[in-house]
Protein backbone atom coordinates (compact mmCIF):
# COMPACT_ATOMS: atom_id res chain seq x y z
CA UNK A 1 0.00 0.00 0.00
CA UNK A 2 1.41 3.35 -1.00
CA UNK A 3 1.39 6.29 1.45
CA UNK A 4 -1.92 8.21 1.63
CA UNK A 5 -2.27 11.57 -0.06
CA UNK A 6 -3.87 14.25 2.08
CA UNK A 7 -5.76 17.10 0.42
CA UNK A 8 -5.96 19.71 3.18
CA UNK A 9 -7.75 23.06 3.36
CA UNK A 10 -7.32 25.48 6.24
CA UNK A 11 -10.09 27.76 7.43
CA UNK A 12 -8.41 30.77 5.86
CA UNK A 13 -7.83 28.82 2.67
CA UNK A 14 -11.54 28.05 2.42
CA UNK A 15 -12.46 31.70 2.99
CA UNK A 16 -9.90 32.99 0.48
CA UNK A 17 -10.90 30.49 -2.20
CA UNK A 18 -14.58 31.26 -1.61
CA UNK A 19 -13.99 34.97 -2.28
CA UNK A 20 -11.93 34.21 -5.38
CA UNK A 21 -14.48 31.76 -6.79
CA UNK A 22 -17.48 33.94 -5.93
CA UNK A 23 -16.12 37.21 -7.31
CA UNK A 24 -14.70 35.55 -10.43
CA UNK A 25 -17.92 33.68 -11.16
CA UNK A 26 -20.30 36.59 -10.74
CA UNK A 27 -18.07 39.20 -12.42
CA UNK A 28 -17.24 37.04 -15.45
CA UNK A 29 -20.87 35.91 -15.83
CA UNK A 30 -22.14 39.50 -15.61
CA UNK A 31 -19.59 40.80 -18.15
CA UNK A 32 -20.39 38.03 -20.64
CA UNK A 33 -24.14 38.48 -20.18
CA UNK A 34 -24.11 42.28 -20.57
CA UNK A 35 -21.80 41.99 -23.57
CA UNK A 36 -23.54 39.19 -25.46
CA UNK A 37 -27.10 38.95 -24.08
CA UNK A 38 -28.07 42.47 -23.04
CA UNK A 39 -31.31 42.16 -25.03
CA UNK A 40 -32.36 39.29 -22.72
CA UNK A 41 -32.89 41.62 -19.76
CA UNK A 42 -36.36 41.18 -18.29
CA UNK A 43 -38.98 43.87 -18.87
CA UNK A 44 -41.14 44.19 -15.74
CA UNK A 45 -44.02 46.66 -15.77
CA UNK A 46 -42.35 48.44 -18.66
CA UNK A 47 -39.02 48.71 -16.82
CA UNK A 48 -35.83 47.00 -18.01
CA UNK A 49 -34.80 45.29 -14.80
CA UNK A 50 -31.23 44.91 -13.56
CA UNK A 51 -29.98 41.38 -14.17
CA UNK A 52 -30.31 38.98 -11.28
CA UNK A 53 -27.37 36.73 -10.49
CA UNK A 54 -29.21 33.76 -11.95
CA UNK A 55 -30.01 35.63 -15.17
CA UNK A 56 -26.33 36.46 -15.77
CA UNK A 57 -25.62 32.72 -15.83
CA UNK A 58 -28.65 31.64 -17.84
CA UNK A 59 -27.16 31.72 -21.37
CA UNK A 60 -24.06 30.28 -22.98
CA UNK A 61 -21.17 30.80 -22.53
CA UNK A 62 -21.75 32.42 -19.11
CA UNK A 63 -23.93 29.44 -18.14
CA UNK A 64 -20.87 27.17 -18.01
CA UNK A 65 -18.96 29.68 -15.87
CA UNK A 66 -21.92 30.16 -13.54
CA UNK A 67 -22.53 26.42 -13.12
CA UNK A 68 -18.88 25.59 -12.47
CA UNK A 69 -18.57 28.48 -10.01
CA UNK A 70 -21.60 27.47 -7.96
CA UNK A 71 -20.48 23.84 -7.89
CA UNK A 72 -17.03 24.80 -6.63
CA UNK A 73 -18.49 27.30 -4.14
CA UNK A 74 -20.85 24.61 -2.86
CA UNK A 75 -17.86 22.32 -2.27
CA UNK A 76 -15.98 25.06 -0.39
CA UNK A 77 -19.02 25.95 1.72
CA UNK A 78 -19.28 22.27 2.69
CA UNK A 79 -15.79 22.40 4.21
CA UNK A 80 -16.42 25.83 5.72
CA UNK A 81 -19.41 24.61 7.73
CA UNK A 82 -17.45 21.56 8.92
CA UNK A 83 -14.68 23.83 10.21
CA UNK A 84 -17.21 26.09 11.96
CA UNK A 85 -18.75 23.04 13.62
CA UNK A 86 -15.41 21.63 14.79
CA UNK A 87 -14.07 24.92 16.13
CA UNK A 88 -17.21 25.70 18.13
CA UNK A 89 -17.41 22.11 19.32
CA UNK A 90 -14.06 22.73 21.02
CA UNK A 91 -15.33 26.06 22.42
CA UNK A 92 -18.33 24.35 23.98
CA UNK A 93 -16.28 21.45 25.38
CA UNK A 94 -13.93 23.95 27.05
CA UNK A 95 -16.74 25.48 29.11
CA UNK A 96 -16.30 24.79 32.82
CA UNK A 97 -19.94 24.16 33.64
CA UNK A 98 -23.36 24.21 32.06
CA UNK A 99 -23.94 27.93 32.63
CA UNK A 100 -20.40 29.06 31.80
CA UNK A 101 -21.52 30.37 28.40
CA UNK A 102 -22.85 33.53 30.09
CA UNK A 103 -19.31 34.85 30.62
CA UNK A 104 -19.09 35.79 26.94
CA UNK A 105 -22.57 37.29 26.58
CA UNK A 106 -22.75 40.70 24.93
CA UNK A 107 -24.83 42.71 22.51
CA UNK A 108 -23.75 41.02 19.28
CA UNK A 109 -27.23 41.44 17.86
CA UNK A 110 -29.04 44.75 17.65
CA UNK A 111 -30.47 44.18 21.13
CA UNK A 112 -28.97 43.81 24.58
CA UNK A 113 -30.22 40.33 25.37
CA UNK A 114 -27.79 37.74 26.73
CA UNK A 115 -27.16 34.05 26.22
CA UNK A 116 -27.58 31.57 29.07
CA UNK A 117 -27.56 28.09 27.54
CA UNK A 118 -26.19 24.82 28.97
CA UNK A 119 -23.48 22.89 27.15
CA UNK A 120 -25.88 20.25 25.86
CA UNK A 121 -28.11 22.91 24.30
CA UNK A 122 -25.10 24.62 22.73
CA UNK A 123 -23.99 21.29 21.23
CA UNK A 124 -27.48 20.77 19.77
CA UNK A 125 -27.43 24.24 18.26
CA UNK A 126 -23.97 23.63 16.81
CA UNK A 127 -25.19 20.41 15.18
CA UNK A 128 -28.30 22.18 13.85
CA UNK A 129 -26.09 24.86 12.30
CA UNK A 130 -24.00 22.14 10.66
CA UNK A 131 -27.12 20.53 9.17
CA UNK A 132 -28.39 23.88 7.89
CA UNK A 133 -25.00 24.52 6.34
CA UNK A 134 -24.99 21.14 4.61
CA UNK A 135 -28.44 21.85 3.13
CA UNK A 136 -27.16 25.24 1.95
CA UNK A 137 -24.21 23.56 0.20
CA UNK A 138 -26.39 20.92 -1.47
CA UNK A 139 -28.90 23.45 -2.76
CA UNK A 140 -26.14 25.74 -4.02
CA UNK A 141 -24.89 22.78 -6.07
CA UNK A 142 -28.45 22.19 -7.34
CA UNK A 143 -28.87 25.88 -8.17
CA UNK A 144 -25.85 25.67 -10.45
CA UNK A 145 -27.05 22.38 -11.95
CA UNK A 146 -30.45 23.75 -13.00
CA UNK A 147 -30.03 26.85 -15.21
CA UNK A 148 -32.76 29.47 -15.15
CA UNK A 149 -33.58 28.88 -18.82
CA UNK A 150 -33.86 25.11 -18.33
CA UNK A 151 -36.54 25.18 -15.63
CA UNK A 152 -37.48 28.55 -14.15
CA UNK A 153 -39.63 27.10 -11.35
CA UNK A 154 -37.11 24.49 -10.22
CA UNK A 155 -34.19 26.93 -10.34
CA UNK A 156 -36.09 29.58 -8.40
CA UNK A 157 -37.21 27.02 -5.82
CA UNK A 158 -33.77 25.59 -5.05
CA UNK A 159 -32.20 29.08 -5.06
CA UNK A 160 -34.85 30.28 -2.60
CA UNK A 161 -34.15 27.35 -0.25
CA UNK A 162 -30.41 28.02 -0.53
CA UNK A 163 -30.79 31.69 0.41
CA UNK A 164 -33.19 30.86 3.25
CA UNK A 165 -30.70 28.35 4.72
CA UNK A 166 -27.96 30.97 4.53
CA UNK A 167 -30.13 33.58 6.25
CA UNK A 168 -31.23 31.14 8.96
CA UNK A 169 -27.60 30.17 9.62
CA UNK A 170 -26.57 33.82 10.02
CA UNK A 171 -29.44 34.66 12.38
CA UNK A 172 -29.26 31.47 14.46
CA UNK A 173 -25.48 31.66 14.87
CA UNK A 174 -25.57 35.36 15.73
CA UNK A 175 -28.28 34.82 18.34
CA UNK A 176 -26.60 31.84 20.03
CA UNK A 177 -22.99 30.75 19.50
CA UNK A 178 -21.93 34.17 18.24
CA UNK A 179 -23.16 35.71 21.49
CA UNK A 180 -21.76 32.99 23.74
CA UNK A 181 -18.27 33.11 22.16
CA UNK A 182 -17.74 36.60 20.67
CA UNK A 183 -13.93 36.55 20.87
CA UNK A 184 -12.89 33.79 18.49
CA UNK A 185 -9.18 33.63 19.28
CA UNK A 186 -9.06 34.26 23.03
CA UNK A 187 -10.47 31.14 24.74
CA UNK A 188 -8.43 28.47 22.88
CA UNK A 189 -4.90 29.88 23.25
CA UNK A 190 -2.58 30.85 26.07
CA UNK A 191 -3.45 34.35 27.13
CA UNK A 192 -0.20 36.27 26.81
CA UNK A 193 -0.45 40.03 26.37
CA UNK A 194 0.09 39.73 22.61
CA UNK A 195 -2.50 36.98 22.19
CA UNK A 196 -5.07 38.91 24.23
CA UNK A 197 -4.50 42.04 22.14
CA UNK A 198 -4.80 40.06 18.90
CA UNK A 199 -7.90 38.31 20.20
CA UNK A 200 -9.54 41.64 21.03
CA UNK A 201 -8.87 42.91 17.49
CA UNK A 202 -10.15 39.68 15.97
CA UNK A 203 -13.23 39.65 18.19
CA UNK A 204 -14.11 43.27 17.47
CA UNK A 205 -13.76 42.70 13.72
CA UNK A 206 -15.87 39.55 13.89
CA UNK A 207 -18.62 41.24 15.89
CA UNK A 208 -18.67 44.19 13.50
CA UNK A 209 -18.94 42.07 10.34
CA UNK A 210 -21.59 39.80 11.83
CA UNK A 211 -23.57 42.80 13.09
CA UNK A 212 -23.48 44.34 9.62
CA UNK A 213 -24.63 41.08 8.00
CA UNK A 214 -27.56 40.81 10.43
CA UNK A 215 -28.41 44.48 9.84
CA UNK A 216 -28.49 43.99 6.07
CA UNK A 217 -30.65 40.87 6.27
CA UNK A 218 -33.22 42.13 8.76
CA UNK A 219 -33.81 45.88 9.16
CA UNK A 220 -32.31 47.06 5.87
CA UNK A 221 -33.89 44.51 3.53
CA UNK A 222 -37.25 44.55 5.33
CA UNK A 223 -37.31 48.36 5.19
CA UNK A 224 -36.41 48.38 1.49
CA UNK A 225 -39.12 45.82 0.73
CA UNK A 226 -41.80 47.77 2.61
CA UNK A 227 -40.80 51.07 0.99
CA UNK A 228 -40.73 49.50 -2.50
CA UNK A 229 -44.14 47.92 -1.95
CA UNK A 230 -45.61 51.17 -0.62
CA UNK A 231 -44.22 53.15 -3.58
CA UNK A 232 -45.53 50.60 -6.07
CA UNK A 233 -49.03 50.64 -4.58
CA UNK A 234 -49.33 54.38 -4.04
CA UNK A 235 -47.56 55.73 -7.13
CA UNK A 236 -48.11 54.78 -10.78
CA UNK A 237 -45.48 56.94 -12.50
CA UNK A 238 -42.64 55.35 -14.46
CA UNK A 239 -40.03 56.47 -11.92
CA UNK A 240 -41.97 54.87 -9.06
CA UNK A 241 -42.31 51.61 -10.97
CA UNK A 242 -38.63 51.62 -11.83
CA UNK A 243 -37.69 52.13 -8.17
CA UNK A 244 -39.88 49.23 -7.04
CA UNK A 245 -38.73 46.87 -9.81
CA UNK A 246 -35.03 47.53 -9.28
CA UNK A 247 -35.34 47.26 -5.50
CA UNK A 248 -36.33 43.60 -5.85
CA UNK A 249 -32.96 42.86 -7.49
CA UNK A 250 -31.13 44.97 -4.91
CA UNK A 251 -32.61 42.78 -2.16
CA UNK A 252 -30.96 39.73 -3.74
CA UNK A 253 -27.61 41.53 -4.02
CA UNK A 254 -27.92 42.61 -0.36
CA UNK A 255 -28.40 39.02 0.81
CA UNK A 256 -25.32 37.89 -1.14
CA UNK A 257 -23.32 40.78 0.36
CA UNK A 258 -24.51 39.88 3.87
CA UNK A 259 -23.49 36.24 3.41
CA UNK A 260 -20.07 37.36 2.15
CA UNK A 261 -19.51 39.58 5.21
CA UNK A 262 -20.68 36.74 7.45
CA UNK A 263 -18.11 34.44 5.83
CA UNK A 264 -15.35 37.02 6.19
CA UNK A 265 -16.22 37.47 9.87
CA UNK A 266 -14.82 34.01 10.63
CA UNK A 267 -11.30 34.97 9.57
CA UNK A 268 -9.50 34.53 12.90
CA UNK A 269 -6.46 32.83 14.40
CA UNK A 270 -8.17 29.54 15.15
CA UNK A 271 -9.70 29.37 11.67
CA UNK A 272 -6.17 29.74 10.34
CA UNK A 273 -5.07 26.81 12.51
CA UNK A 274 -8.08 24.56 11.86
CA UNK A 275 -7.70 22.23 8.88
CA UNK A 276 -9.90 19.58 7.31
CA UNK A 277 -9.48 17.56 4.13
CA UNK A 278 -9.80 14.33 2.17
CA UNK A 279 -7.40 11.41 2.47
CA UNK A 280 -6.81 9.52 -0.78
CA UNK A 281 -5.69 5.97 0.05
CA UNK A 282 -4.05 3.81 -2.61
CA UNK A 283 -5.17 0.19 -2.26
CA UNK A 284 -3.96 -2.89 -4.21
CA UNK A 285 -6.78 -5.44 -4.12
CA UNK A 286 -6.02 -9.20 -3.95
CA UNK A 287 -5.55 -10.79 -7.38
CA UNK A 288 -5.17 -7.40 -9.11
CA UNK A 289 -2.00 -5.88 -10.49
CA UNK A 290 -3.31 -2.31 -10.80
CA UNK A 291 -3.94 0.27 -8.13
CA UNK A 292 -7.31 1.86 -7.37
CA UNK A 293 -7.95 5.04 -5.49
CA UNK A 294 -10.61 5.10 -2.79
CA UNK A 295 -11.81 8.48 -1.54
CA UNK A 296 -12.04 8.35 2.23
CA UNK A 297 -13.47 11.57 3.69
CA UNK A 298 -11.80 12.24 7.00
CA UNK A 299 -10.81 15.10 9.25
CA UNK A 300 -7.08 15.14 8.59
CA UNK A 301 -6.22 17.23 11.62
CA UNK A 302 -8.49 16.97 14.61
CA UNK A 303 -9.16 20.47 15.92
CA UNK A 304 -9.10 19.27 19.54
CA UNK A 305 -5.58 17.88 19.18
CA UNK A 306 -4.49 20.83 17.06
CA UNK A 307 -5.60 23.39 19.64
CA UNK A 308 -4.14 21.56 22.59
CA UNK A 309 -0.71 21.53 20.91
CA UNK A 310 -0.55 25.28 20.30
CA UNK A 311 2.30 27.33 21.91
pLDDT tens for 115-143 read 567 788 889 999 999 999 999 999 999 99
CA atoms 88, 18, 194, 207: torsion sign: negative
Q: What is the pLDDT of residue 183?
A: 47
DSSP conformational letter for 236: -
pLDDT digits (tens, 9 = 90+) for 205-235: 778 888 999 999 999 999 999 999 999 888 8
Instruction: Give the DSSP per-residue string, 80-122.
Output: HHHHHHHHHHHHHHT-SSTTGGGGG----SSS-------HHHH
- Which of 129-133, 248-252, 272-276 bottoms out in mean pLDDT, i.e. has the lowest? 272-276
pLDDT of the residue at 277: 60
- The pLDDT of residue 50: 86
* pLDDT tens, position by position, 51-90: 888 888 888 888 899 999 999 999 999 999 998 998 888 8
Q: How many CB atoms lie within 10 A of CB 144?
A: 25
Residue 111, pLDDT above cutoff 60: no
Amino acid sequence: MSPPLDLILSGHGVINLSWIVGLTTFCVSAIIFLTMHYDELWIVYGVKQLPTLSLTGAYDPSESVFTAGLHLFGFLSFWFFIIVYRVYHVHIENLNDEDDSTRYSNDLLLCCCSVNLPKTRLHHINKALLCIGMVFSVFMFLTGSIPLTLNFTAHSGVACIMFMCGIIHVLLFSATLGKAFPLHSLPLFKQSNDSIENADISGNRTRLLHKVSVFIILPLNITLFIVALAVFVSCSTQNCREFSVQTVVVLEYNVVLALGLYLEGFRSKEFLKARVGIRLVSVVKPGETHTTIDDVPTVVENVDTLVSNQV
